[in-house]
Amino acid sequence: MREGLETNIRNLQEELDNYKAQVKQYLNFNSSEGLIIGATNSATGEEESFRTVIDNHSLSFQYNATTVAAITDNQLSINNARINNDMQIGRFYF
């Protein structure tokens, strides 16, 4: 009985380790940056070009470790934007 229990525990640990590895490929948390959402190359362990970072003060979108858009202090800041149809700023339509 004890061997069966130990086998079950090893199997569950292996399943948990696999699950954690899958999640870590897309989600990471550290105290200096916050929650990081973005794929990691499973072969090299390096982050891909795009990622989203969420912390207590902002939501930012990064490309090659440079913030290209962010929401912080009730403002959206974006370096370049393409509007496909309509845009409204206050009462003005473009």
Domain with 39 in it:
25-80
Residue type, 6: E
pLDDT of 10 > 90? The answer is: yes
Which pLDDT value is given to residue 28?
A: 87
Residue 5 covered by a domain = no
Residue 88, pLDDT score = 85
Stated pTM of the model: 0.70
The C-alpha atoms of residue 80 and residue 83 are separated, in whole angstroms, by 10
92: left (phi over 0), alpha (psi -120 to 50) or beta: beta
Within-domain flag for 45? yes
Any domain includes 93: no
Task: Flag whether 11 is in a domain.
Answer: no
In a domain, 2, yes or no: no
Is 66 part of any domain? yes
Domain count, the chain: 1
